[in-house]
Amino acid sequence: MKRIALLTVIACLLAAPATLLAQTENHVELGVFGDYFRYDQSGTINFVGLGGRAGFYVNPVTSIEAEMAYDFARNNTVITGSGASTNFATTRLRPLTGLFGPKFNLGTHAANLFVTGKVGFVNFANSGQSFAQAVGNVEDGTTRFAVYPGVGLEGFWGPFGLRAEVGDRIFFRDGARNNLTVTFGPHFRF
Interval 137-147 mean pLDDT: 71
**Which among 27, 111, 93 is positioned nearest to 62, based on CA atoms?**
27
Percentage of residues of the chain with pLDDT beyond 90: 38
Mean pLDDT of the chain: 78
User: Which is more confidently placed, 80 or 128?
Assistant: 80
Domain boundaries, given as residue ranges, for the chain: 2-189
Digit-coded pLDDT (tens) for 60-108: 889 999 999 988 767 666 666 676 666 665 566 678 899 999 999 997 7
Q: Which CATH number fits domain 2-189: 3.30.56.10, 3.90.870.30, 3.40.50.1820, 2.40.160.20?
A: 2.40.160.20
Identify whether the C-beta of residue 40 lies closer than 8 Å to the C-beta of residue 71: no
CB burial class (10 A; 0-12, 13-18, 19+) of residue 95?
Answer: buried
User: Which segments of the chain does DSSP mark as H helices, in order?
Assistant: 2-21, 131-136
Q: How many CB atoms lie within 10 A of CB 66?
A: 18
What pTM does this model have? 0.74
Digit-coded pLDDT (tens) for 168-189: 999 887 788 888 899 999 999 9
Beta-strand pair 83-90/94-105: unpaired
Task: Give Cβ neighbours of residue 2 (< 8 Å, ≥ 6 apart).
Answer: 138, 139
